[in-house]
Chains A and B, each alone.
Chain A
Amino acid sequence: MAVAKTKLEKFLEDTVVFLGPDREILKDHGLAPRDDREERVMRDHKDPHEIGLVRSKLDVIAEEAFDQLEQTGAAPGAKWGDLVAGVFTASGDLAAASTGGVLLFSVVCQPMLRYILKYWKDEPTVGIRPGDIFTSTDPRYGNIHTPDQNTILPVFDDEGRLALWVIVIVHEGENGSVEPGGMPSAAESPYMEGIRMPPVKIGENYQHKRDIVTWLQNSVRDPMLQIQDMKIRLSACLKMKERIEQVAQEYGWDAIVSTLRWTLEDTEAEVRRRLRAWPEGTVRSIAWTDSTLRENALIKIALEARKKDDELILDFRGTSPQFINRSINTQLHALKGMLAQVFLTFVWPDLPRNQAVFAPMRLMSDWGSALDSTPEAPNAQSMMTFFPGFTALQMCVAKFLYPTPKRYTKLLAPWYNMITTFIYGGLNQYGEIVGNLCADLNGMSGGAREDEDGEHSIAPIFAAMTDLGENEIIEEETPIVKIVPHRLMQDNQGFGKFRGGSGYQVIGTVRRSDMFGFMTTCTGSKFPTVYGLFGGYGAPSYPLCKVKGVNAFEKLKDLPESKWTIPGIMNEQPFADARYSTHHMGMQFEIVKQGELYMICQGAGGGYGDPLERDPDAVMSDLRDQLISHLTAKEVYLVAYDERTLSVDVEATERRREAERQARKRRGRPFDEFVKQWVTEEPPAGLPYYGPWGDRETIYLGGPANKMARGTCPGIMMTDPREVRIAELEQKLRELGVELAR
């Protein structure tokens, strides 16, 4: 019997159709246990001062690689820091990363390395040898999404043992997906999202294999970008390897291996120590995403954070099910990477950037939900769900931090969280095929701080010191012309005692090309994605606006200054015979006719505290800077002032504010009464609602008529919006036919 079982096991082992994504690897984000070598070298090399010197050198090496990539990368993302360089332990844990760039990229490399170690290390046809070059772009194996490409290099010590890995990752953009630019919202399956490479060897002897390079170039719209950035990534990895070997000459390989491991363990211990200082308890927050990028849909992202001792449990159970034919789903490890960014950038920016920071956090989620999707669900636009997940955590963390005496940076309201930009593609003015995205996504506005206002359009939630770029350069390289590239929008901020930062409006079009187009990918056009904190207001919602049927270049000279804004154009419609329309921000790729206007607005940061507590002088300052309107000054901040001189009537202001406080009390209701008045058993009919409504065990799939028990829904299939539209029109035709027949 035993023999038969072994044979069966062997048969099953040998007869695998596909070594697909490994759920066990993807679920585990903890540090790998010490291996024998680590155990030994950590005993021999434990002088913290020497380890500190080695660590400094490794940090410098990662920084140097980052600088080189930023300078030499051809992808627009590379130029403004949408990349990272890191050093990983032999077991695959990130131990040192460049301080610049997108850290979550490297955090999500852990599963790829574990996959390589588990499946390819002993596989005779693959193996891991000096000189090998690997890559992996398929998010089902440990990437964020397919436009992010990486180069993975194993580094061996003098005795031929795998000592560590060096990895660089760049958001390359174009990847041959169904829409140009690499982040298709039109993708209805993973197989429409461009090249999907599981962990794969693409080179040997420190050289790319030309046949594989050709295959990759053959799969994308921009073969020049593909080869150029493959080369620069490899070059940066080789430089890191060479530098590390120099450190090894000085300190020895064992010292390096020991340093990597001590770095991780010391970091985890520090995080646990800091968590212990937080109050015990449970806090909750909810974030929303209001679109699948193809249709309106109110999707619930629910987080319950429980802090106990030195552990933080992040419970996302009850989040909406995944959308099987929409690209907004998130792989669990991508969510983890984004959540790690909350801690590393917004809570403990002083900590080293490595895997251990997130190790003490435990995640709970529903397999098959929008934040823990299965391999069948596309995810090129996973940001649409994991960015709100980030915001939900920001809100929860703020509640823990408020009573915590020792903080490591400022407490703040949520940062804006959507990638408001034009993704573009087509033929540029030189006849080259290009596809990528504008750096405007880096203009996310900062949330208000506990003691000061948030900053206007400053940095994305996922990286510091990024760049909005220079329009003169953009215009030189692409046919994009931004008529209004950077103009802050009035009243576009989360109001509060301290207000969030404002976002700028962009009015863009195309010139000198008839084969060039845009797409946009944001949610929050109908229901905001960013909320206020402790009484502050959230960001507004932002539609996409278009003016078609006009060549604006012929009309600009007649456009008065007051109309060089989105509200000016959309409300006053200054171009006769043009078509004005608003849309949600999930615009699939479309060709832009020269001179037609596409208008988007950078989002605002959330406000902090009650607007009635805002210093009236700060309100006047915002008025002077045209950041707010008189309506806001009077009706939101309740300031009494002279409109001509902007001098504040302090006493009248206080009287107005006090009156409002009293009115609030009068409007207030006991909780039970409030619940009775407000809470309904089910979501309203007609609202395309996805997720739990009351308790999280019942999940609604589009409205009250369609619900299932949590964990039983394999995913939601949405109807093609064009089919919906055709059906609507056919119905109208039928109705018209009936009417005519009368």
Chain B
Amino acid sequence: MRRLSVDIGGTFTDCFLEWDGRHIEAKSLTTHHNLSVGFLDAVSRAAGEAGVPAEELLAGVDSVRYGTTLGTNALIERKGPRIGVLVTMGFESGLRLSRGRGYGEGLPRHLQVDLPRATRPRPLVPQSLVVGIQERMDYLGEVLLPLDIEDVRVKIRRLVDNGAEAFVVALVNSVVNPAHEERVEEVIRDEYPSSLFGSFPVILSHRISRRKSEYARTMAAVVCGFLHEHMFYSLGTLEDGLRDRGYDRPVLLIHNTGGMASLESTHALQTIHSGPVAGLAASQHLAREYDIPLIVATDMGGTSFDIGIIERDGTWIYDFHPVVDRWLVSTPMVYLQTLGAGGGSIARYDRLWRTVEVGPDSAGSDPGPACYGRGGSQPTVSDADLVLGYLDPEYYADGTISLDASLAELAIEEHVAEPLGISVLEAAKLIKRKVDANMADAIYKEVATRGFDPKSLKLLSYGGGGPVHCCGFARALEVKSVLIPPFASVFSAFGAGNLGQLHIHERSAYLVVYNPLTREMTLDTSRVNAMIEELEALGLADLTRQGFAAKDVRNQIEFDMRYGNQLVQLSVLSPVQRLKDVDDVLAMIEVFSHTYAKRFGAGAAAPEAGIKIIAVRVLSWVPAEKIPLAGQNGAAESRPAARYRRACHFWTEKDPVDTAIHRWTDLQAGAVIDGPAIVEAPHTTFVVEPGWEFRLGSAGEVWMTDGKGRGR
């Protein structure tokens, strides 16, 4: 297999090359002015490693796939065109009101509950660019008020006069009957043909999401419109650069659905968070390679802690109304929870409880932890890690950042130790224990609320801070085993290499499966089957357009179901491709019942309140070959000698512990190290806590195991 995967991050462009069985990692700085420069630089480095010219490499790989944070960054920086939004008359304030709760979307809980400080983010669309047009559909798609074409023309001109550079059309109930949205697009094209001013991008909300919820769908269309031009210009240029270098196959863009597609089959919203989702794809690949039924993937960076849940045999867990930056949108996105806990999380004395609290405020990377010596004076998790002896001041981040332990001690002393009346060391232990407990609690909540048993899982830990703290939060969770994956420094790129083309099409429905008043099964199966066929056809068109044969396309049918009128809609994997009779419907109910009971408890199921289907979804994909890894623990066991020893401190031990210090570069596959020990790698540090064992696998993965665990 020859496959090139790239993850264009905010700082680095990571590259993973599979080249005839060789796994090659390469990194380059992201070049924001022209992404192709950094991209091609990373490719050149990988090519150099592989011993082939870059052009030959590009000509030789079966595919190039990449993810990018471009959209995320553009949203944060508010870099986008002026969008004119046409909504149904009477709904003009919907965007700015953002369902009331929009002030708190994307914020930590303590800010959400502080109503006097509650302030909505600056809108992507100013109110002067939102207009109502005379039209109205009802919930069944019946026209209540016909579209007034003259009114539409007047409003379009008004928007252009006010500076609109792109249009979003988001009309109520357009997911049931899109006729009015489509007609508005025609009028825009008629008013402003591309021959006149160049093309005004026009985004119709029902093409972004077929799910009912006018605010979230409008916001999804607005985000797409906001990112559309910039992204497609940048990415188009990037792809042109590849073609200039001899690559002539499809370039595939990673989607946050856990799939990928060509640029012209992608809308901008699908690229948001694609990097972290690719990391989850890598985790899923590992779960299958290493036969782990349930993995919780954790990514601990400098400012955040991402949590994702992966079932070896299950499908992705989706969030259908995710929050992107500060905006609630309607789009299926692989579920990922982000918390404010990282190496930069600030520790402080909590006067109320007379103890230490950590986060969610973060020192970030600028000024960063106090020990960076860049002006940060607040103690952070990394400062505590340094004081406890886990980090080598001279060998942090591959020696690129020199750490000052005295600054870390000073910050901890002033802000934590002194107010608590304890030593700096004791304070650092408290910080470590507290941040580990916070992460454990967060994992617990995520796992438990999804209906999984926290004790049955294995943790996957990556990101710069993960290996430092994974024993700590695993211990707090009573989890006995942690896997630190191979290729951790280019993990998302590795994940991208294992994705296949995937398209998700769904549409809202309101189908009563069981009517408790009449005690009848009322599902119109032919209607459901017609919807499935329509959605399958859309997926098929997407994939054949990209050159796949129809015979290779696979479809997975899902129903979003609920009892009565509850909010939650659980995704139920259909046991059949088409519903033939009541037995198929009963089988579907059984799957729903089982899924529901697993998540909320069997006693919470209330079929007597009625059973409904709220959405029908089809996932269409073409199976893709995965990157093979070396078998687990294939290498002979060895017990490497430590480079040296130094005193480290663990909250479980009263006294300092004389700890073996290893260098990653000294270790061979099969190396086993008993804790307490430290393994210093270029991009992270492994803290093997007392009672834990470090084991290096054949593919470069590390298994941390609580062999002699002492409970919590």
Contact = CB atoms under 8 A, between A and B. Distances in A.
Interface of A: 48-49, 51-53, 55-57, 60, 63-64, 67-68, 70-74, 76, 78-79, 99-100, 224-225, 227-228, 231-232, 234-236, 238-239, 243, 250, 266-267, 270, 345-346, 349-352, 409-412, 415, 430-432, 442-443, 446, 449, 452, 455-459, 464-473, 475-477, 481-488, 504, 507, 511, 553, 556-557, 561, 564, 624-626
A468 B139 contact: no
18 contacts: A52-B355, A60-B445, A100-B113, A224-B608, A225-B609, A231-B603, A235-B601, A238-B603, A250-B712, A409-B116, A411-B116, A431-B517, A458-B100, A470-B216, A475-B139, A486-B94, A561-B134, A624-B128
Contacts, number: 256
Contacts of B148: 557
A467 B605 CA distance: 25
B530 interface: no
A470 B441 CA distance: 32
A72 B566 contact: yes
B355 A458 contact: no
A220 to B, nearest CB: 13
Nearest to A239: B601
A485 B90 contact: yes
Given A224-B516, A412-B116, A243 B448 contact: yes
B101 interface: yes
A72 B90 contact: no
A557 B134 contact: yes
B116 to A, nearest CB: 4
Given A250-B478, A473-B213, A624-B127, 16 more contacts: A53-B434, A57-B441, A64-B448, A79-B567, A224-B564, A270-B351, A349-B114, A351-B352, A352-B352, A459-B118, A464-B112, A475-B173, A483-B136, A556-B136, A557-B145, A561-B151
A571 B173 CA distance: 30
Nearest to A251: B712
For the complex of A and B, list the 9 residue pairs with the smallest distance between their C-beta atoms, beginning with the closest.
A235-B604, A484-B90, A71-B568, A228-B609, A228-B606, A472-B212, A410-B116, A224-B609, A470-B213
Measured as residues with beta carbon below 8 angstroms from the partner, the interface class of chain B is 35 or more
Interface in B335-366: 350-357
Contacts of B175: 472
Given A60-B445, A235-B600, A486-B91, A446 B565 contact: no
Contacts of A76: 565
B604 A232 contact: yes
Given A53-B437, A483-B136, A557-B148, A228 B444 contact: no
B433 interface: yes
Nearest to B174: A472
B512 interface: yes
Contacts of A487: 90-93
Contacts of A74: 563-566, 606, 609
Best-surrounded residue of A64, A231, A431 (most CB of chain B within 10 A): A231
Contacts of B90: 482-487, 507, 564
A5 to B, nearest CB: 51
Nearest to A65: B449
Interface of B: 89-94, 96-97, 99-101, 103-104, 109-110, 112-120, 127-128, 132, 134, 136, 138-139, 144-146, 148, 151, 172-173, 175, 212-216, 350-357, 430, 433-434, 437-438, 441, 444-445, 448-449, 478, 508, 510, 512, 516-517, 563-568, 600-601, 603-606, 608-610, 711-712
Best-surrounded residue of B115, B146, B352, B430 (most CB of chain A within 10 A): B115
A52 B352 CA distance: 11
B138 A481 contact: yes
Given A459-B118, A473-B212, A561 B132 contact: yes
Contacts of B97: 443, 456-458, 468, 486, 488, 504
B115 A346 contact: yes
Nearest to B175: A472
Given A458-B100, A466-B100, A561-B151, A410 B117 contact: yes
Contact of A486 (B93, B110, B113, B430): B93
A624 B118 CA distance: 23
Contacts of A64: 445, 448-449
A465 B98 CA distance: 11
B449 A68 contact: yes
Contacts of B96: 456, 488
Contacts of A458: 97, 100, 103, 115, 118, 120
B603 A51 contact: no
B516 A465 contact: no
A67 B449 contact: yes
A396 to B, nearest CB: 16
Given A225-B564, A488-B93, A476 B139 contact: yes
Contact of A476 (B113, B354, B510, B605): B510
A614 B605 CA distance: 55
B352 A267 contact: yes
B273 to A, nearest CB: 21
B117 A409 contact: yes
A74 B109 CA distance: 25
Given A51-B353, A60-B441, A456-B96, A99 B109 contact: yes
A76 B565 CA distance: 8
Contacts of B94: 485-486
A723 to B, nearest CB: 39
A78 B562 CA distance: 15
Contacts of A79: 566-567
A228 B563 contact: yes
Given A99-B109, A430-B512, A470-B214, A349 B116 contact: yes
Nearest to A447: B116
A411 B516 CA distance: 51
Nearest to A68: B600
Best-surrounded residue of B90, B215, B512 (most CB of chain A within 10 A): B90
Contacts of A48: 353-355
Contact of A457 (B100, B172, B214): B100
Best-surrounded residue of B103, B438, B711 (most CB of chain A within 10 A): B103
A200 B460 CA distance: 48
Contacts of A432: 517
A526 B90 CA distance: 26
Contact of A49 (B215, B430, B567): B430
A231 B110 CA distance: 31
A349 B434 CA distance: 22
A250 B454 CA distance: 14
Contact of B127 (A67, A351, A465, A626): A626
A117 B127 CA distance: 56
B434 A235 contact: no
A553 B144 contact: yes
Given A484-B90, A561-B89, A409 B114 contact: yes
Given A52-B355, A55-B353, A60-B444, A99 B116 contact: no
A376 B119 CA distance: 43
B128 A443 contact: no
A455 B113 contact: no
A504 B212 contact: no
A574 B175 CA distance: 31
B113 A99 contact: yes
